Structure 1
């Protein structure tokens, strides 16, 4: 409720929260109401608070507040609680000592009488000032500093309690004030914090101190502006936004934006929509948020898709479309064009952020601020509306991205035509009063009706002024590409766009007839030639899907296959006298033809005949390692036994080691790797001796043939002659003479190498 109050209303409420029930005259004296205008401002503030049942006068002439209202401030006016509340837990003996320190005779022996005497003393500013004047200089400085902390809560002494004695009691300047009730020990805190009663703080601030009260809005620079100028600029902005909204939502309807995994429409999707609709990112965000709130868009899995309500909305006039979005904008519980968070990171659109009570109040404050401007006057620059909004709604939400106060909300209002030339437009005036009929009438007066005709130029363009109707936009989007949007939209025709229309099944005559129906005058000759030329070449080359192709030299035989009843399931279709296409894969077509008594031959993709060989099935059994060939020895893996070596022995060995690494000796033969290929093969071909590795490496580098003994994964051992060797660790690509085809061999499965 407080977010809807203006600055003087909050200032009066804060003053009453600090003082408690006081007469209206005392309140007026504290806020320094001297003139007639300021008195009228105070009366208006009290009336506004009374209308909300926050403040009311009682039978004794005191202004009282709703019980929960003072809790809205931690320390109203920078004052702590009154003395009565702070001394509620104080004992009668402690009150007696305070009165003795102040030199006040004790009026009685009960706590009530002693508390009344102390409260009477501290409520007199002159007596409190006299006591403080006699205080030590350090104590007086401390009290004056604490009393001057306006708008801040009294800071506790950041000292821990040690040996059950608070740090506050151990400081002489604080102890002197505590003994006289100028400071009160906080018994509910775990630390030695002290609090200053409100009566003492007011006495220290002096008789001339007054609570802040600004009954009048800040003065801003204004310029003369006529209502016709405001209407003209508001109409232009509203018309452009309505056209952009139609383009954005049409783009979302055709290709729904995909949501991020964390939720919301990310920067990439926003950029795509902005490019397709030819508008700025801020407009895209504003349209998406308002359209989602109006029920034109909805979440559909991981996308945001158009609803049935969008179809109805798209058929309406631009004025009706804008009215729906304006209603959503006014009550939207967030700022739709907020693009950055408090940490400066980019925010997605439609992120589902929690409702923000201060965001609608920023718009309400903007409408109120613009409405209070004098007639035929507008602010010098839109940024000067910010201080006025802050005065009308001081608790409204201000965004971190705003360089000036409420810059984002003001920019949104300008885009929608709510504010124009620094003044409130008729749309804004109707929106402020929440009058649906007045808003619809203002939009209908300012926005033109949807354009249902286009002007076609000899340069193969179509120009539509204003907002095109849904039917006209759909027709032009089918036959042309949109180049420019806004108050005037431009579409361009090309052979590609006409072909796109022909692909939908339409004929050249139908396209020409539809365009002529929406044309202002006759179609240009160049456009008619383009449509007819595109239609003449359209479909001259056709592409058909096929699982396989059947061809032969006898047209009668292929015609027989097409009409054969047993082959109907293959889906055969005659493309040419000697060519058939089948919807069935090759192997199944081949088997079906053979079952029907024909003898077809399969071909590879390159047109060569596929030779079919029957593979013999063998059991998969473990294959023992092959015996070493003559002149070869099997590589053995030495067994390493851990040996415990002392640090001193290890250091001695390191000092005795040569500074240069010895040449590699991979197999313990004293011979290093001859080439990089040998080193790579030695790491992959674990079953080859060093001599075999060198022989295989030489064949790879020299491009010669080689014969290898290969053990397949099934355990089948074969001897193969390989050529055209290509090393791709851990594989070897080669032409296998045994299989008469290119094969890939695993190097670790090669158990022997012989010359080719």
Structure 2
């Protein structure tokens, strides 16, 4: 019977609650919705869906599933059970295996099956399972690090097949119990003989006893990773590699690579598939630190990050950040920002990325420069609101700022705010990292808040814990987690390597509670500063946002640390005059918020700068109106319909406008005037921010709606649709999706069994044709087949296939497929 139909029957027999659990764990199965159980089973059997499910399995679950795939055979109905798997997995118990198999069954990665015919009577009451059809493709060619089977290597590698008969004779010469000459006359027979020789523990021990030195070490390395590097000319005939090749225990793939057959790798592991089952997560040895030191470090990091982001906003407000033609911000601009902020280039890149993902910086599409987002309320927010904004943006950002500065495969470097730093999986990795930090801290002796000490979490410990929880994502964890932990430290989620209360609450999604904790921990903001005679102001702590914003407008921040220094100069005061202030208002502000009297040198500087300010006036005009008729210009200036043009009279005969030349001419014509255009029309100079359209951050910096998220109502509705379609898996086999996958399943089964099929398809003229063919491969939407009657090879497009019938080798009698 078809594996998809069997899985459909398995799904239909489940309760509504178990179906909802399955759809919650694997939402891609019903996106888009499916009409019946057959379509649901077909989609659950696709390689892409199975690969997504594998990414969420823990290490023991993946090990057990791999053992099921390597010991069970869907084509022959050879199912397996927990008691049988225990012999293939070292350190496993039947109770643990039963629980893991039940979980894998709930995820539809295995299906219930009857016991095989040769099963002992004592085992027939156990639960037997078969893997889904596409599991082998999803696991890859080397499941559990084991190579391909001996018969498969003999079919694919002619040079290896030629060596096998001679290898059998060599094994017999070593005294092994090998059949006499003539039994291994064919390649398949020779492969079977070698299989039996390495599968017996006694024969394997005898074989290793006569092998050259260091053969066991070589087998140990290759049993972990089946493919190794070994040049054909390297080593003499007595070397371990050459000895293994001559005896058929190692296959040469090409001039530089060899592969250890699966049976030999399994024997090297002690005749098991999984060398050790780690049913519980690893518990590393961690150091500890006082919680007071941890909190001091975290709160200091929060204050420093907020101060630097505020300075970045001020620096970018004066000089926007230029971008490269290839995208991102170049090294020269990052160095300029690093000098202005008095930090290194790595921290400058991180601050630029953080400012962009938090929406503080926006890309001006006209000038290709990053500038401060107009109307951004950063300076008016208090520190807790600022921190909350940064942490929320960091959690949801589909970017990995830590990748900035790393090398790509082409040898180029990833620039800040470049598209190469986009990682759609970054929010998931951060969420998993925070969960692992919480779990390690809770499990460690002296967790957060216990006896005033907290465990110090190392990068290796966190990566090891994450790899255990999702081994298929190990490479992502190794590449991204160390940088994300450094970012979490700068945001106060970690302090001196230990998880803080802020980090624990953020991991639980309680950001408001974390903000309350931070508010109570940080000192109250100040409203005063101290003015000094050297034209500087010293803020002994964090100033209120309004006071800090006003002081930053009047002066230039200097220095680092909690006590900020601001220096007054003619340039900084002119900046305040440009913002519309005057000398009395500036002196009043200083007198109101200074803990000391306003120094006389500072008063002189303010008055002197104000007296020289404004002798020359600069404004902006996009167009002008010139006329010798003073009365016409006066009438235009007083016309209320022309108020939107922003007209300003510069001279008796000249009026300027903020509108462009063509716009001004069009409006004047509508008002009844007949203007004439002089020279080339002016273009508007106002910059347009990329954020005006809702995308003010770099590529993929804002998280998008997760396409694999379903609501409870969606799942309930889908279950109702499935129940309404009937519980019989044969009642809903008319959908195009399930029909196509059933046909592909039959073709792949015929390829594995090397059996012919009766294929019904439409030819190039649209005529229906039925032929007996032997399929060779399926890929790229096409099936490569051999026509045995005409002895020619053909290629048939899958969309032209109407039906597939599996035949036996004798006279094409149909089988139960």
TM-score scaled by length of structure 2: 0.51
Give, in angstroms, the shift of residue 417 of structure 1. Answer: 0.3
Counterparts of 1:328-477 in structure 2, within 5 Å, are 328-342=393-407, 347-353=414-420, 355-356=422-423, 363-364=430-431, 366-371=433-438, 372-373=440-441, 374=444, 375=447, 376=449, 385-394=458-467, 395-397=474-476, 407-447=482-522, 453-459=527-533, 460-464=535-539, 467-477=542-552
**Structure 1 residues 514 and 73: alpha-carbon distance in aligned structure 2, compared to 1, 3 A threshold:** same
**Structure 1 residues 95 and 341: alpha-carbon distance in aligned structure 2, compared to 1, 3 A threshold:** closer
Q: Structure 2: how far apart are the matches of 1:494 and 1:157?
A: 71
Give, in angstroms, the shift of residue 311 of structure 1. Answer: 0.9
Counterparts of 1:554-593 in structure 2, within 5 Å, are none
SS in 2 for 1:149: helix
Aligned position for 1:306: 372
SS in 1 for 2:288: strand
Q: Structure 1: how far apart are the matches of 2:146 and 2:466?
A: 24
Q: Structure 2: how far apart are the matches of 1:88 and 1:200?
A: 17
The structure 2 residue matched to 1:243, chosen from 307, 327, 337, is: 307
Is 1:223 matched with 2:257? no
The structure 2 residue matched to 1:297, chosen from 361, 380, 388, is: 361
The structure with the largest alpha-carbon Rg is 1
Is 1:254 matched with 2:318? yes
Contact 1:454 1:520 in 2 (8 A): yes
SS in 2 for 1:457: strand
Structure 1, gaps ≥5 residues long: 161-166, 547-563, 570-581, 585-756
Deviations 1:9-44 (A, max 9, x none): 5555565565567543455555432799xx87x788
Q: Structure 2: how far apart are the matches of 1:504 and 1:416?
A: 33
Deviations 1:181-209 (A, max 9, x none): x67x79xx788998654234323554599
Structure of higher RCO (CA pairs closer than 8 Å, 6+ residues apart):
2
Structure 2, gaps ≥5 residues long: 1-51, 73-78, 116-126, 468-473, 619-627, 634-650, 654-817
Give, in angstroms, the shift of residue 289 of structure 1. Answer: 1.7
Contact 2:536 2:566 in 1 (8 A): yes
SS in 1 for 2:458: helix
Contact 1:84 1:119 in 2 (8 A): no
**Structure 1 residues 46 and 387: alpha-carbon distance in aligned structure 2, compared to 1, 3 A threshold:** farther
Is 1:151 matched with 2:247? no
Q: Structure 2: how far apart are the matches of 1:3 and 1:436?
A: 28
**Structure 1 residues 432 and 380: alpha-carbon distance in aligned structure 2, compared to 1, 3 A threshold:** closer
Contact 1:24 1:63 in 2 (8 A): no
The structure 2 residue matched to 1:285, chosen from 340, 349, 352, is: 349
Q: Structure 1: how far apart are the matches of 2:403 and 2:242?
A: 54
**Structure 1 residues 4 and 350: alpha-carbon distance in aligned structure 2, compared to 1, 3 A threshold:** farther
Q: Structure 1: how far apart are the matches of 2:458 and 2:99?
A: 23
The structure 1 residue matched to 2:333, chosen from 250, 259, 269, is: 269
**Structure 1 residues 158 and 388: alpha-carbon distance in aligned structure 2, compared to 1, 3 A threshold:** closer
TM-score scaled by length of structure 1: 0.55
Counterparts of 1:319-718 in structure 2, within 5 Å, are 319-342=384-407, 347-353=414-420, 355-356=422-423, 363-364=430-431, 366-371=433-438, 372-373=440-441, 374=444, 375=447, 376=449, 385-394=458-467, 395-397=474-476, 407-447=482-522, 453-459=527-533, 460-464=535-539, 467-484=542-559, 487-494=562-569, 497-498=572-573, 500-502=575-577, 506-517=581-592, 519=593, 524-526=597-599, 530-531=602-603, 534-535=606-607, 538-539=610-611
Deviations 1:485-542 (A, max 9, x none): 554433233455445534655332121233345x165x61416x63356425743698
Give, in angstroms, the shift of residue 257 of structure 1. Answer: 0.6
Give, in angstroms, the shift of residue 385 of structure 1. Answer: 0.9
Contact 1:340 1:346 in 2 (8 A): yes
**Structure 1 residues 175 and 149: alpha-carbon distance in aligned structure 2, compared to 1, 3 A threshold:** closer
Aligned position for 2:741: none
Q: Structure 1: how far apart are the matches of 2:153 and 2:519?
A: 63
Give, in angstroms, the shift of residue 319 of structure 1. Answer: 1.7
Q: Structure 2: how far apart are the matches of 1:145 and 1:256?
A: 59
Contact 1:370 1:385 in 2 (8 A): no
Contact 2:455 2:498 in 1 (8 A): no
Contact 1:144 1:204 in 2 (8 A): no
Contact 1:508 1:535 in 2 (8 A): yes
Contact 1:79 1:153 in 2 (8 A): yes
Q: Structure 2: how far apart are the matches of 1:340 and 1:48?
A: 42
Aligned position for 1:201: 265
Give, in angstroms, the shift of residue 159 of structure 1. Answer: 6.7
Contact 2:198 2:204 in 1 (8 A): no
